[in-house]
Amino acid sequence: MSTDGIKDQYTDEAVAQAYDRERFVSFVGRTLDRLEQRALGRALALALGSRVVPEPLVLDIPCGTGRITERLLERGLTVIGGDISPAMMDVARVKCARFGSRVSWRQLDLDRLEMDSGAVDIATCFRLFHHIDSTARAAILRELARVSRHFVIVNVSYSSPFYRWRRRAKQALGQGISRTSSTAAEIEREAAAAGLRVIARRWVWPLVSEDLVIVMEKR
């Protein structure tokens, strides 16, 4: 699946206003959010601890309603929130208003980021790779690697024999699953094609969730 359908889906103002409420209000939603934030924190600590990056600048894209952007700001980072959807960024602006000049917002298309190469130190991309196929993931990784000087941090829905069995079981029970998933070979291949190497993997909720946070470094 390409990014075109995703772009259209989240430009609607009603979808943007309901996004957090539909995903992160329930007990399961709150739990997954908290665990995902913890995995992100561990990934950031590893990236920032592996080399000296004074006052790192982070691009969070797609920033959506600012869920990840807010956590990056809470860690003292300076962040650019980028998204194709002005409606989603309007929600994010309100959520992150208290951080003042440490956050800025740009309407950006991941198919071709209107940013200089090496414009940021770290690029984060959450809850997108679950929706798109390997070809689209590889193209987006190339853009993220181009604009980042050091690291790219993404999350994927991981595919292995166990998790493929788990997906089939969830489908049989009528439960929702991600649109696509990533095998270990695909992750390595997509990273290498973008000039990145995988340096760490951090599970969000091992065995219970397929969600995997991956830290990649520029070669």
Q: What is the pLDDT of residues 145-164, one digit of tens each?
A: 999 999 999 999 999 999 99
Extract the runs of DSSP E, i.e. beta strands, from 41-127. 57-60, 78-83, 103-107, 120-125
Question: Which pLDDT score is estimated for 11?
Answer: 79
Look up the pTM and report it.
Answer: 0.94
> Which residue positions in the chain have pLDDT lower than 70?
1-6
The angle subtended at Cα 122 by Cα 191 and Cα 20, nearest 5°, is 95
d(CA 78, CA 64): 17
Question: Which pLDDT score is estimated for 4?
Answer: 60
CATH architecture label of 4-218:
3-Layer(aba) Sandwich (3.40)
CB 48 within 8 A of CB 56: yes
Question: Which pLDDT score is estimated for 41?
Answer: 95
CB neighbours (10 Å) of residue 216? 27
Question: Which pLDDT score is estimated for 1?
Answer: 47
The angle subtended at Cα 82 by Cα 81 and Cα 88, nearest 5°, is 90
Q: What is the pLDDT of residues 163-176, one digit of tens each?
A: 999 999 999 999 98
Query: CA nearest 62: which of 14, 116, 139, 124?
Result: 124
Question: Which pLDDT score is estimated for 3?
Answer: 62
Backbone angles phi, psi at 159, to 5 degrees: -120, 125
Backbone angles phi, psi at 109, to 5 degrees: -110, 120
The angle subtended at Cα 20 by Cα 166 and Cα 204, nearest 5°, is 40
Q: What is the pLDDT of residues 102-124, one digit of tens each?
A: 999 999 999 999 999 999 999 99
Bridge partners of 217, per DSSP, are 151, 197
